[in-house]
Amino acid sequence: MPALTLADLRRYAVSRSLFSPTTLPGALRRLGFIQADPIRAPARAQDLTLRHRVADYRAGDLERRYPRLQVEEDFFVNYGFLTRDLHALMHPRQARHAWDSATKRRAAALLEFIRERGEVHPREVDAYFAHGRVTNYWGGSSNATTHLLDGMHYRGMLRVVRRDSGVRVYAAREHTPHDADPAAQLDALVDVIVGKYAPLPAASLSNLVVTRLPHGVPQWRADVKAALQRAKERLGRTQLDGTTWYWPDGERPASTRHAVSDEVRLLAPFDPIVWDRRRFELMWNWAYRFEAYTPAPKRKLGYYALPLLWRDEVVGWGNLAVSDGQLVPAFGYVAGAPPAGRAFRRALDDELGRMRLFLGL
Q: Report how far residue 210's alpha carbon sits from residue 204's, in angstroms, rounded to the nearest whole number.
A: 10
Share of the chain above pLDDT 70, in %: 95
Q: What pLDDT is recorded for position 2?
A: 63
Read off the pLDDT band of 361 (50, 70, 90): very high
Residue 243's DSSP bridge partners are 240
Give residue 127's pLDDT: 83
* In the predicted structure, residue 141 carries a pLDDT above the cut 70: no
Give the 3-state secondary structure of residue 274. Answer: coil
Count of residues in the chain: 361
Q: In this model, does residue 191 exceed pLDDT 60?
A: yes
pLDDT band at residue 175 under the 50/70/90 scheme: confident
Q: Which of 96, 88, 97 is nearest to 219 (CA)?
A: 96
Instruction: Name the more confident of 305 and 146.
Output: 305
What was the pLDDT predicted at 144?
81
SS3 assignment, position 97: coil
Q: Sketch out the chain's domains with CATH numbers.
A: 101-172 (1.10.10), 264-359 (no CATH)
Alpha helices in 51-156 (DSSP H): 61-65, 84-90, 101-117, 122-129, 144-154
3-state secondary structure of 171: strand
**The pTM is what?**
0.93
| Whole-Å CA distances, 133 to 1, 111, 127, 142, 148 | 63, 19, 13, 6, 10
pLDDT digits (tens, 9 = 90+) for 80-97: 999 999 999 999 898 988
> To 10 degrees, what angle do helices 277-284 and 6-17 make?
130
Per-residue pLDDT tens over the stretch 306-358: 999 999 999 999 999 999 999 999 999 999 999 999 999 999 999 999 999 99
Q: Distance between CA 336 and CA 161 in Å, rounded?
A: 47
- Tell which residue, 55, 86, 56, 58, has the closest CA to residue 70: 86
The mean per-residue pLDDT over the stretch 252-281 comes to: 95
Q: What is the mean pLDDT of the chain?
A: 94
pLDDT of residue 146: 85
Provide mean pLDDT across the span 189-213. 98
Mean pLDDT confidence for 242-247: 97
